[in-house]
Structure 1
Amino acid sequence: MMVDAAGTTVADVVAALAGWYPPDWAEDWDRVGLVVGDPAAPVTTALLVVDCVPETVDEAVEVGADLIIAHHPLLLRGVHSVAATTYKGTIVHRLIRADIALLVAHTNADTANPGVSDALAARFRLTDLRPLVADGPNVPGVGTGRVGELPQPLTLAELADLAARRLPATPSGVRAAGDRDRLVSTLAVCGGAGDPFLAAAAASGADAYLTSDLRHHVASEHLAAGGPALLDAAHWAIERPWLDLLAGQLADALPIGTVISDIVTDPWTLHVPAPQ
């Protein structure tokens, strides 16, 4: 889909994303699509972010963006006010005053092929990809997470080191759980919080599972049951690669400029290693 540069609108971008990431593929609890903005408004530059927060709104203003495309919804849970006295209300007012629209693709982008987990798998050059959980519409390759083969087997310690180098840097870094010498050939990955899919990772035949936000007891019981080794990276870090994929899709489809935000919006800002 190509649109004349002079006539590209918010509606055109909304339509493009709906083609790649159909809104009805989002989970029932999710809130995706256009959040702020006039569909008829022109778009020349879009800022791509994981989170729409004051810092990324400031960045959008600085780069002259007409539109922010975010992965995480700003208004995920019900609100009764967007007054400027509230955190989210302040963001909404700032966007409106700056004439910046906000568009969200969340679990619909997680499920799509290519989507969030495909971009994550690409960082590790995984091949023979298949969904970790083949959910959603009956479309080949669509589903949550991905499972694939590494170019060459690595120990868990080597894979953790590779992950720290291939993923965007955050103070949290990368944690690993399991035998450091365990050989990993098949890797499962899942963008976002991957707790719910530990059983799927175990059933997939993967040697290791990379995701984020793993909890203590859940991870401990998973390992005790003989499940794959675990790698836990910052939530922002494992979803940031999707912005590169999205920028490429937009470049092929619409004559607008894109800027990828590398502002780390993960809430953890300091990591102090244990004394040796």
Structure 2
Amino acid sequence: MTTVEDVITLFEKWVPKHYAESWDNVGLQVGNKKQEVKKLLISLDVVDLVVEEAIKKDVDLIIAHHPLLFKGLKIIDTLEPKGHIVQKLLKHNIAVYAAHTNLDVVNGGINDLLSEAIEIKNTSVLIPTVEEKLYKFIVYVPSSHIKEITAAIGEAGAGHIGNYSHCSFQSIGTGAFKPLEGTNPFIGTQGEIERVEEYKLETIVKESQLSTVLQAAISAHPYEEMAYDLFPLAIKGEVQGLGRIGKLAHPMTLQEYCDLVKEKLQISSLRYVGKPDKMIENVAILGGSGKEYITAAMDAGADLYITGDLTFHEAQEAEEAGLCLIDPGHHVEEIMKEGVKKYFMDHLNALPDKIDIIASGLSTDPFRYR
């Protein structure tokens, strides 16, 4: 049986909660972790229409980008929209999980999905928010189990360096120990000093994966007491953050690029600032509402900044500074539905039982365009 907890654990291997901004409200919002999950629905929002869709499709869990419960609820009035939605979810035993700014910043998340869709190449983080701490993990392993433990910790996430996984260094030496009274040694005899050929297995581990890697090593290790060392490293870990900046494969005019954005994001209209014939090469993007990062885009050398919810005065200031803008709308973040679905489809075998993954077929954009 696959539970809500199983699905969350798998998802947070990609999108950890601690990547979220401090003001954000991410994680399980309705339901409990022990609920069984047979069908998962992925949606940008949790509005009444989406809940109705979930009910009709017998969904057990909704993963949404925008939190259902964002501002603190002091009461749940079922005559009010939020309260009515919560009531419906509980009545039909549907859990809700939100991944908001953590899905924005994570590699492969919303900003990378948008960048790929609208052909922004060689991207880097626009506003760094998270730098993963790294640790050196050293474990001492009898030669009979070196392959098993190397594989176990590698599968748990240890040894990732750039685009390489399962990286480690192994050296052979002699381990010595004396089993005392009450022990049940894998090798050796109580009261006698034992000397064993062992490997010193060294690798690198992200802080967010420490507990998982340690548990994997302990589970695979044959000794009653696993000897290991753990050292924090001064070298910098992977940087995550809001937005991306990169280059187009070849420069094009603002008007040409507006047409490309409309086509690739499948939108009928957008707002833009700047001269239509201005040549564009360096492009910054931040999905959702990113008007407060216009200066960051200029400082990064962007010719064009793409984000949603732009307002009059910010647009004027950007125009006067020579920065072009495109506002495709907040709702283009719905690209996350297929991105999150793909992640789960690629990792279904990691769940106790396979589940159905559904991307919501509904648009939750409240605006209508003519």
Aligned-residue offset at 1:141: 4.6
Is 1:153 the counterpart of 2:251? The answer is yes
User: d(CA) in 1 for partners of 2:249 and 2:54?
Assistant: 38
Per the alignment, residue 193 of structure 2 pairs with none
1:199 maps to a residue whose letter is T
CA contact (8 A) 1:25 1:137 kept: no
Is 1:262 the counterpart of 2:361? The answer is yes
1:89-238 pair list within 5 angstroms:
89-138=83-132, 139-169=237-267, 173-226=269-322, 228-237=323-332
User: d(CA) in 1 for partners of 2:290 and 2:345?
Assistant: 30
User: d(CA) in 2 for partners of 1:211 and 1:262?
Assistant: 23
List per-residue Cα deviations over 1:168-204 (Å, max 9, x = no partner).
Answer: 436xx21111010011122111111011110111011
1:190 maps to a residue whose letter is L
CA contact (8 A) 2:258 2:326 kept: yes
- The DSSP-based 3-state class of the residue aligned with 2:301 is coil
1:194 maps to a residue whose letter is G
User: d(CA) in 2 for partners of 1:247 and 1:55?
Assistant: 20
User: d(CA) in 1 for partners of 2:27 and 2:129?
Assistant: 21
User: d(CA) in 1 for partners of 2:304 and 2:294?
Assistant: 10
2:302 maps to a residue whose letter is A
1:99 maps to a residue whose letter is N
2:97 maps to a residue whose letter is L
Per the alignment, residue 249 of structure 1 pairs with 343
- The DSSP-based 3-state class of the residue aligned with 2:131 is coil
Using structure 1 for the length normalisation, give the TM-score.
0.90
Per the alignment, residue 4 of structure 1 pairs with none
Per the alignment, residue 159 of structure 2 pairs with none
Aligned-residue offset at 1:72: 0.4
CA contact (8 A) 1:130 1:141 kept: no
Aligned-residue offset at 1:29: 1.3
List per-residue Cα deviations over 1:69-98 (Å, max 9, x = no partner).
Answer: 100011110111113112111101101111
1:37 maps to a residue whose letter is G
* Two-structure CA RMSD over aligned residues (Å): 1.4
Aligned-residue offset at 1:256: 2.0
- The DSSP-based 3-state class of the residue aligned with 2:129 is coil
Aligned-residue offset at 1:45: 1.4
CA contact (8 A) 1:113 1:141 kept: no
Which residue among 54, 60, 69 is the counterpart of 1:66?
Answer: 60
User: d(CA) in 2 for partners of 1:70 and 1:120?
Assistant: 17
User: d(CA) in 2 for partners of 1:122 and 1:73?
Assistant: 25
List per-residue Cα deviations over 1:190-249 (Å, max 9, x = no partner).
Answer: 1110111101110111221111001100111122122x2100011012x11122111111
Aligned-residue offset at 1:137: 2.5
- The DSSP-based 3-state class of the residue aligned with 1:40 is coil
Larger Rg: 2
User: d(CA) in 1 for partners of 2:28 and 2:266?
Assistant: 28
Aligned-residue offset at 1:104: 0.3
User: d(CA) in 2 for partners of 1:204 and 1:118?
Assistant: 17
CA contact (8 A) 2:39 2:59 kept: yes
CA contact (8 A) 1:118 1:146 kept: yes
Is 1:27 the counterpart of 2:21? The answer is yes
CA contact (8 A) 1:168 1:240 kept: no
Structure 2: gaps spanning 5 or more residues:
133-236, 349-353
User: d(CA) in 2 for partners of 1:77 and 1:216?
Assistant: 26
Using structure 2 for the length normalisation, give the TM-score.
0.68
Per the alignment, residue 240 of structure 1 pairs with 334
1:7-46 pair list within 5 angstroms:
7-46=1-40
User: d(CA) in 1 for partners of 2:40 and 2:287?
Assistant: 23
CA contact (8 A) 2:103 2:109 kept: yes
Which structure features the higher share of strand residues? 2
Query: Given the superposition, is the C-alpha separation of residues 219 and 23 from structure 1 closer, same or farther in structure 2, using an over 3 Å criterion?
Result: same
User: d(CA) in 2 for partners of 1:55 and 1:183?
Assistant: 42
- The DSSP-based 3-state class of the residue aligned with 1:240 is helix
